[in-house]
Structure 1
Amino acid sequence: MDALLIVMTTFPDEASAETAIDGMLAARLAACVQQMAPVRSSYRWQGQRETSVEVPLMIKTTAARYSALEQYIKEHHPYDVPEIVAWPATAALPAYARWVEDETRGQLHV
């Protein structure tokens, strides 16, 4: 079984987040994307302190699909340097992990 990953990214608004979600699911780069409540992010960018409201996305995918997912986010994100952070799920319900793997391969597991 392929390793299950949780990937975190943020988008500047709900419209761009929803467009990205549609593309990730259609391309089977993710099995599930959770759109979280907007957050206030503070950071340094180009030497200046910035604050913005962003829409976080928590994406469930596999290690095998991570590179393609990362590329998709980079190509469809309005930021020059989008947040893309991934970590392995160290434990998961086996049936859920299989479902994620099946969905990101394009095979339906019913």
Structure 2
Amino acid sequence: MSEPKACVVMVTAPNREEAERLARAALEARLAACVQLQPIASFYWWEGKITSDSELLLLFKTVPARFAALRDLILRHHSYDTPEIISLPVEDGAERYLNWIGQQATG
């Protein structure tokens, strides 16, 4: 199996200010081509009980080669003790869009 052409990195943030700060930091460092923010309701286990919060979901569009640097940037700047940072491979898509991601996320 060949390496994915791109990946989507999912990250949650507690508020719009932090989400925008993370998005801008990643874009300025050329670690992502695009970041989308979506309000979500999260339900999860934390410290032995089910909890829920309103959060923002950030979808970073990048290339696999930039994931480690993006993860490290998020870990340095995120307020959560254990932030969600999940990379999902993009196996296929519109060729022009995938090429654009590759061009933008590598500066």
- Under a length normalisation based on structure 2, what TM-score does the superposition of the two structures give? 0.92
Residues 1:105 and 1:2: Cα distance change in structure 2 (over 3 Å): farther
Report 1:1-110 matches (<5 A).
Answer: 3-36=5-38, 38-106=39-107
Post-superposition CA distance 1:49-74 (Å, at most 9, x none): 22111000111000000000111111
Provide the aligned length of Structure 1 versus Structure 2: 105
Extract unaligned runs of 5+ from structure 2: none
Misfit runs of 4+, over 2 Å: none
- Under a length normalisation based on structure 1, what TM-score does the superposition of the two structures give? 0.89
Secondary structure of 1:16's match?
helix
Residues 1:2 and 1:87: Cα distance change in structure 2 (over 3 Å): closer
Query: Take 2:48 and 2:35, find their aligned partners in 1: how far apart are those partners?
Result: 32
Query: Take 1:2 and 1:65, find their aligned partners in 2: how far apart are those partners?
Result: 12
Extract unaligned runs of 5+ from structure 1: none
